Structure 1
Amino acid sequence: MNSILAIITARGGSKRIPRKNIKDFCGKPIIAYPINLALESKIFHNVIVSTDDLEIKKISENYGAEVPFLRSAKTSDDFATTSDVLVEVLNTYENQLGKKFDFACCIYPTSPLLKQEYLVKALDLLKSKDADSVFPIIRYSSPIQRALIENPMGFIEMIQPENMQVRSQDLQPAFFDAGQFYFFNVKSFLLKRKMWTERSVGLEISDLEAQDIDNESDWKIAELKYKLLFST
């Protein structure tokens, strides 16, 4: 039986939206949503929060997550990557707690629109495809092959003018990272230290099911989407 870990990454510092990871979102701290989702999915042996912040630790534990250790100063500054945080968590689990995992899922704390079914599908894809990682992607609504730029003279031109007359349905669809979670093979990740590689699989979701939250306007849009998706 595979051992599977959920890691919700939530450091205390947030410059654009103060205390972003525990700010109230439709009635409860935003971090409560991924915690509850991971616990209710029943696919994880441990659901932990990686944080350097004692208030985040307390709130996370109140909602059922584990915080077995605090994040180091090195992985709590503005220069630490998500991969740095995950490596620290996995190594600390092995070296201090004597526990190894086969698969892990990094879930971002500001993912209130995430659906449980996608975590389950991602794990299934990870195993069936023997992939390094699986993460949600969103299709660009317009063909990126017709992207425009402003030239030095201030006029608009196409990056790929050869696609001007090509039908939209004949252009290859393009996608972007939804920024919600990464489900990954632990052994491959520790070897490559990358969230996605040449052996990563995308799980397509709609643009209604995700929202980057970088400012207050994004926050309001995310709340509107949440109400549309989950209101009864």
Structure 2
Amino acid sequence: MKKIAIIPARGGSKRILRKNIKFFIDKPIIAYSIEAALKSNLFDEVMVSTDDDEIAKIAIKYGAKVPFLRSEINSNDIATTIDVIAEVIEAYKKEGRIFDYTCCIYPCAPFVTDQILISSFSKLEDDHLDCVFPVLKYGHPIQRALKVKANNRIEMIAPENMQIRTQDLEASYHDLGQFYMFKTEKIISDNRLWNDNTGFIELKEIESHDIDTIEDWNLAEFKYKYLKNIK
């Protein structure tokens, strides 16, 4: 039963320049994903898929493999994560290396830990799932969401929920965009990251932060330091 961790990290980040190797506190942010994967001892191979020589060198420095650079067709803005994963799996298959399980860990996910990865794999096996990924519960029911109309007035998206108590509304969750742990053959054949036989690991607000802007980055560093201090 072979397992691979794939960390997709192309060089062309737009919103934060060189985001995947920008220092997060004291090391390049991609190092956190690599180290969590290695520390978990789950994987027979921890590799980084990149089109960028500098990212490749940093990845190797922190213990990942970069056996080849990503193809040009999967290095543009429209290439999907599943495209990148399929390319990696096919390249290893040509070398006679088949992986039963894959974990795609994003490079800007410093809150991922070895224990979260281990727990996710255990859930994947124990519950006979095809995929597991981390989610976070919305802090306020999305059924009470608001929108701004063309005349700059506010209204509810679902006004039928106006008189329903928030505690009586069903909880909703969102994908944290940190990683996906899955059965390789099933997800590749479905050509999507998760399917109807997918489970989840629920994390806390303090255990995650989406990083799209410099403000996000600074807040993520603050949360990370706080999390480490309370542990």
1:167-216 Cα deviation digits (max 9, x unpaired) = 22211100011010000110111110111111111211012111111111
Match of 1:147 in 2: 145
Match of 1:8 in 2: 7
Matches within 5 A, 1:161-200: 161-200=159-198
Match of 2:157 in 1: 159
Residues 1:31 and 2:57 are matched in the alignment = no
SS of the residue corresponding to residue 47 of structure 1 reads strand
2:133 maps to which of 132, 135, 145: 135
Query: What RMSD, in angstroms, separates the aligned Cα atoms of the two structures?
Result: 1.1
Alpha-carbon distance in structure 1 between the residues aligned to 2:29 and 2:134: 19
Q: Counterpart of 2:179 in structure 1: which amino acid?
A: F
Match of 1:94 in 2: 93
Residues 1:55 and 2:57 are matched in the alignment = no
Match of 1:73 in 2: 72
Q: 1:154, CA displacement in angstroms?
A: 2.6
Alpha-carbon distance in structure 1 between the residues aligned to 2:18 and 2:158: 42
Q: 1:225, CA displacement in angstroms?
A: 0.9
Q: 1:89, CA displacement in angstroms?
A: 0.3
SS of the residue corresponding to residue 199 of structure 2 reads strand
1:89-110 Cα deviation digits (max 9, x unpaired) = 0011001x21001100000000
Q: 1:18, CA displacement in angstroms?
A: 1.1
SS of the residue corresponding to residue 31 of structure 1 reads helix
Alpha-carbon distance in structure 2 between the residues aligned to 1:207 and 1:197: 25
Alpha-carbon distance in structure 2 between the residues aligned to 1:195 and 1:149: 30
Moved over 6 A (4+): none
SS of the residue corresponding to residue 208 of structure 1 reads helix
SS of the residue corresponding to residue 123 of structure 1 reads helix
Match of 2:213 in 1: 215
1:103-160 Cα deviation digits (max 9, x unpaired) = 0000000001112221111111111222221100010000001111123333211122
2:82–2:188 contact (8 Å) kept in structure 1: no
User: Which is further off, 150-159 or 118-127?
Assistant: 150-159
Match of 1:106 in 2: 104
Runs of 5+ unmatched residues, structure 1: none
SS of the residue corresponding to residue 72 of structure 2 reads coil
Runs of 5+ unmatched residues, structure 2: none
Q: Counterpart of 2:193 in structure 1: which amino acid?
A: M
User: Percent identity between the aligned chains?
Assistant: 49
Q: TM-score, normalised by structure 1?
A: 0.96
1:50-97 Cα deviation digits (max 9, x unpaired) = 1111111111111111111110001101110000000000011001x2
Alpha-carbon distance in structure 2 between the residues aligned to 1:152 and 1:77: 35
